[in-house]
Amino acid sequence: MALIVAKFGGTSVADVERIGIVADKIAREIALGHSLVVVVSAMSGVTNQLIQYCADTSPLYDAREYDVVVSSGEQVVAGLLALALQKRGVNARSWMGWQIPIRTNDMHGKARIEGIETDELHTRLGTGEVVVVPGFQGVTDAGRISTLGRGGSDTTAVALAVALGADRCDIYTDVDGVYTTDPRIVSKARKLKTISFEEMIEMASAGARVLQTRSVEIAMKRGVKLQVLSSFEDHIGSDLPGTLVTSEESIVEEELVSGIAYDRNEAKVTLLNVPDVPGVAAMVFQSLAGAAVNVDMIVQNISSDGKATDLTFTIGRADLGKAMETLGSVETLKGVDVQSKENLSKVSVVGVGMISHHGVASKMFETLAEKNINIHVISTSEIKISVLIDEEYTELAVRSLHAAYGLEQDA
Ligand code: ASP
Ligand code: MG
């Protein structure tokens, strides 16, 4: 009999009726003799609403209080699910992050898990009790509630699977697996049976919203058996219907390209005429890191006169204001022209196959050129090519690339 961590996302627990369906699924796993730890998100839309309440109350909100507010959506669902399970005759109890405890550092709003105490949970599981845990939340050393960043419930689930030594971590969502691209944009998108951890990390960080990147990183590092499946379909995780995220070695048939991801939340910052001397890039990116701004693509031009150069990078759109303010306060950058542009998208082609095949990049650029889509910035990793384009061309780019790489269902 297996120990399973099952996580249900916001659309899967969107209302009391959906929570009932989740409870039915858990009851069926329990009937098979498995032990269950269930991690829940807030009802869909609730976290956005809570964030809006904070913004409306105080534009410069204190991150500690922000965490108190935004962590509450998960608490409600955890309690409701425990009630729904009890109603079905399943022994269940909810455990808040601070009760377990799930210890995190004190980076409020994007905290990292540092440790999870499991003795009590193991005892409860041993008695056949279902342990229900609100995702997304933890507790700092100072005893304050913290949250793990948007999409953090995935990370709660994977971290619990590691700490408890679970046999499997099932992530239930509103799609029945990981697709070659967003099925809402390309109706012929195909469900992948397996995807490697590496590709999943690239897909997630490139904007595929199925799993929080951090959760896949932990799963890869700790060898967690992770699968993505739909809570809207009849089967339960033990029927293995979804997409298995696994190590590269265990994937027999590798595809050249596994998927096309996109992210509409990009903003570009360009520093014109920065002094071409050692330490400037370090200073720019240290100051941004200090302000907790995540930088994505980075391009520096060669300096034609040996004195000055241009530096371009991309960040999340929400961080643009903070980034501009931070850069404005760096002494060495006084006099440097800092420009920014919003309404950009990043479109990425991901696949481990590109390590051993040529022509993957040229096909991407050809395809975009045919559609007259201009590329602002290009960046690559071993298994990913990303381009920054005007947001209005996102769908066109995704559709054309999906077709160009032969990812359609019937191809
Ligand atoms: N409710 C949180 C969010 O919307 C965490 C999660 O659902 O994973 O970001
Ligand atoms: Mg999510």
Provide the pLDDT for residue 247. Answer: 87
Q: Can you tell me which atom of ligand 1 is nearest the CA of 153?
A: 8
Centroid of ligand 2 to alpha carbon of 387 (angstroms): 24
The whole-number pLDDT of residue 410 equals 65
Ligand 1 touching residue 47 (CB < 6 A): yes
Name the closest ligand to CA 173: 2
10 lines ligand 1 (CB under 6 A): yes
Going by CA atoms, what residue is nearest to atom 9 of ligand 1? Answer: 150
Which pair of tokens denotes residue 68?
């108190």
| C-alpha 46 – ligand 1 centre gap (Å) | 9
Distance from Cα 342 to the centre of ligand 1, integer Å = 25
The upper half-sphere exposure of residue 88, i.e. CA atoms within 13 Å in the direction of its Cβ, equals 20
Q: Which CATH number fits domain 260-404: 3.90.1150.220, 3.30.2130.10, 3.30.300.30, 1.10.490.10?
A: 3.30.2130.10
Indicate whether residue 134 lines ligand 1 (CB < 6 A).
Answer: no
Distance 290 CA to ligand 2 centre (A): 27
Q: Is the CB of 42 under 6 A from ligand 1?
A: yes
Give CA–CA dist 101/115, Å, rounded: 8
- What tokens were used for 162? 């590691």
Residue among 11, 52, 74, 136 whose CB has most ligand 1 atoms within 8 A, to mutate = 136
Residue 150 near ligand 1, beta carbon < 6 Å? yes
Q: What is the pLDDT of residue 27?
A: 97
Domain parsing of the chain, residue ranges = 3-250, 260-404
pLDDT digits (tens), the chain, 411 positions: 899 999 999 999 999 999 999 999 999 999 999 999 999 999 999 999 999 999 999 877 899 999 999 999 999 999 999 999 999 999 999 999 999 999 999 999 999 999 999 999 999 999 999 999 999 999 999 999 999 999 999 999 999 999 999 999 999 998 888 999 998 899 999 999 999 999 999 998 887 878 999 999 999 999 999 999 999 988 888 887 789 999 877 766 667 899 999 999 899 999 998 888 888 899 999 999 998 899 999 998 887 888 889 999 999 998 999 999 999 998 888 888 999 999 999 999 999 888 888 889 999 999 999 999 999 999 999 999 999 999 999 999 999 999 999 998 764
Atom of ligand 1 nearest to the CA of 149: 9
Give me the residues paired with residue 316 across strands: 266
Q: At what angle do helices 72-87 and 46-57 cross, to 10 degrees?
A: 150
pLDDT at residue 326, rounded to an integer:
93
| Residue whose C-alpha is closest to residue 332's, from 271, 269, 248 | 271
Beta bridge mates, 168:
4
Q: Which ligand is nearest to the CA of 39?
A: 1
Does the domain at 3-250 match CATH 3.40.1160.10? Answer given as yes
Among 187, 278, 184, 191, smallest CA distance to 228 is for 191
Which residue shows structure tokens 């590092």? 221
> From the CA of 43, how far away is ligand 1's center (Å)?
9
Q: Report how far residue 104's alpha carbon sits from residue 109's, in angstroms, rounded to the nearest whole number.
A: 11
Residue 307 Cα distances to 271, 276, 405, angstroms: 14, 5, 43
Calculate how far, in angstroms, residue 5's C-alpha sits from the geometric centre of ligand 2.
15
**φ/ψ bin of 136: left (φ > 0), alpha (ψ from -120 to 50), beta (otherwise):** left
Smallest CA separation from ligand 1 atom 5, residue: 151
Could you tell me if 161 and 210 are in contact, meaning their C-beta atoms sit under 8 angstroms apart?
no
pLDDT of residue 252: 63
Looking at residue 208, its pLDDT comes to 80
How far, in Å, is the centroid of ligand 1 from the Cα of 81? 17
Nearest ligand by distance to the CA of 150: 1
State in Å, rounded, how far the first CA of the chain is from the last one: 40
Mutate which of 12, 13, 41 for ligand 1 pocket (most atoms within 8 A of beta carbon): 41
